[in-house]
Amino acid sequence: MIPQMNRIGGHLLAATFRGFGIHAKVMDTYKGLDLGKKFTSGKECYPCQITTGDILYFMEKERERLGDAFDPERYIYFMPESSGPCRFGMYNKYQRIVLDSLPELSRLKIGSLTTDDGYSLSGIIDKGRVRDLRKAAYFSVVVADVMDRLLWRIRPYEEDPGTTDTFIERSMHVMEDVFEEFGPEKAFDRILDQMEVIIEKAKGLMDPRIPRKPLIGIVGEIYLRSHTHANQDLIRVLEKYGAEVVNASIAEWMNYISYDRLREAKIAFGLSMKQLRFGPMKKQIKKILGFGSELYYQEFRQKKVYDRLTSMIDLAGDHKVGDLEKVLRKDDLFSFDAGTEACLSIPGIVEYAHEGYNGVVNVYPFTCMPSTITSSIIRPRMDELGIPYLDTPCDESIQPGREAAIRTFMYQGYQHFKQYGRKAF
C-alpha cells in the first residue's frame, strides 16, 4: 500500500511496482484524518497525522470488504523513513507503535525504506532486480513531475475550464498502463513516446489569446507542497488569483538524498584518511562510488527526460542539487551539514528570485522545523531582493485570513510582473 502524497507520482510508482510483479495499490488519502487525529497527540507533524489516518482507514475498509477473510499479514505499508534530524525520523516508529496497539493490526508490516541507504528498495523485491526497479521507480518520479508541470503550465491558459484536470487525470491512467508494460524492461524511450502524445494533446487545450501570467514558485515541506488536500489546494487558489505556478519537484528531493549520502561519505573518507584508518577508508570508497554513480545516473536520466519533453513545450526545468549547495555557500545562508529540506528550499527560493519569478510561496505543516528555519533565513533576503514572498503554514483548520493573504500576495506578484516581466522557460 502506497500512501498518496502527490497523486500522479503515487499512481505511477504503484504501476511501476505492479510491472515488477509487486501487487501495489495507492491508498485513498485524507478520508481517515479523524482516525489519524484520534491516534496522535497533536504534537506530531501534520503529515504524520494524515498518513496514520490513511493506513488506519484503509485497513478498516479492507476489514469491512473482506470480513473473515481479512488477514493483515498479507499487507505491507510502504512508508519511507529517515534518520532525522527532524521528526520525519519518527513517523515510521510511531506508526508501528500505533499499529501494535491495535491487536489485529500488529501483524501488518511496514516497508521501512530509509534515506540512510538512499531508499534502496531492497526487501521489497529479489536482490537481483532491485537495481532495475529502482531505475524504473526513479523514472516514474521524473515523469510524474513532468505531468504535474504540464498541468500547471496548461491549466491557467485553458480554453474550457476543467478540461485540463480531466485530461491529466485520464492521461495519468494511460501512463499507469505504459509504466506497467515498459517499466520492467526499462524501455524509457517507449514511455516518453506516450508522453509526447499527451503533451501534444495538452497543448491543444490552451487558448492562445490568454497572455502569459505572473510566475510564482513554490518551495516547502515535500508532503505538504505535494498533497493538494493538505495544502488546501494552494496551487489552484494561486491560479484563481492570476498565477502560473511551478512547484519544487519530487525528483529534486531524491537527488538531494543521493547527493547528501555522497557528501557524507566523502567527509567520512577525509576524516578516516587523516587518522590513517584504512578499513573505514575502504568502506567509504565503496559508498562514494555507489552514491556517486547513483547521483550521476539520476541527474543524467532526469536531464534526458526534460531535454526531450521541453523541446515540445516550455516547462520549468529542475535545479541541480550541487548548484543549490553553491548558492548557499556563496551567500553563507545555511549549511548542508545541518541537513533537511531547508537545504533545498533556501537556495531554491534564491534561484527563483534570480531567474525572474514574480513571487515565492513557502508551504509547510504548522511547526515544521526545516520550513520555519527557511522562513527565518529567507524573509530578510526577499526584502532585499524585492520579491514578494508568502509563508503558508497548514494544519487541518481553515484560516479565515488565508485567502486574503494569497490575494494580497498575488497583487504584489502582479505589480512585480508589470514592472520586471517574468522568466521565460
Of 32, 339, 370, 413, which one interacts with ligand SF4 (CB under 6 A)? 370
- The minimum distance between CB 139 and ligand SF4, in angstroms, equals 26
Residue 26 neighbours by CB under 8 Å, 6+ apart:
1, 2, 3, 4, 10, 11, 14
Of 369, 378, 382, 394, which one interacts with ligand SF4 (CB under 6 A)? 369
Tell me the window of 50-58, 248-256, 364-372, 410-418 that interacts with ligand SF4 (CB under 6 A).
364-372
221 lies in the binding site for ligand SF4 (CB under 6 A): yes
Of 10, 11, 75, 87, which one interacts with ligand SF4 (CB under 6 A)? 87
Burial (CB count <10 Å: 0-12, 13-18, 19+), residue 30: middle
C-alpha dihedral (257, 258, 261, 264), degrees to nearest 10: -100
- Measured on CA atoms in the order 45, 49, 54, 56, is the torsion positive or negative? positive
Tell me the window of 85-93, 139-147, 156-164, 272-280 that interacts with ligand SF4 (CB under 6 A).
85-93
If you count DSSP H runs as helices and E runs as strands, how many of each does the chain have, helices first? 15, 6
Nearer to ligand SF4, 85 or 270 (CB): 85
Q: How far apart are CA 3 and CA 52, in angstroms?
A: 10
Q: How far apart are CA 151 and CA 316, in angstroms?
A: 12
Tell me the window of 8-16, 86-94, 134-142, 240-248 that interacts with ligand SF4 (CB under 6 A).
86-94
Tell me the window of 107-115, 181-189, 368-376, 408-416 that interacts with ligand SF4 (CB under 6 A).
368-376
Task: Count other Cβ atoms within 10 Å, centred on residue 169.
Answer: 13
47 lies in the binding site for ligand SF4 (CB under 6 A): yes
Nearer to ligand SF4, 305 or 394 (CB): 394
Q: How far apart are CA 379 and CA 360, in angstroms?
A: 11
Residue 159 neighbours by CB under 8 Å, 6+ apart:
205, 206, 207
Residue pair 94/112 in contact by the 8 Å Cβ criterion: no
Nearer to ligand SF4, 5 or 309 (CB): 5
365 lies in the binding site for ligand SF4 (CB under 6 A): yes
Residue 278 grid cell: 584504512
- The minimum distance between CB 91 and ligand SF4, in angstroms, equals 7
45 lies in the binding site for ligand SF4 (CB under 6 A): yes
Residue pair 76/23 in contact by the 8 Å Cβ criterion: no
86 lies in the binding site for ligand SF4 (CB under 6 A): yes
111 lies in the binding site for ligand SF4 (CB under 6 A): no
Q: Please give the residue ranges that form the binding site for ligand SF4 (CB under 6 A).
A: 45, 47, 86-88, 221, 341, 365, 368-370
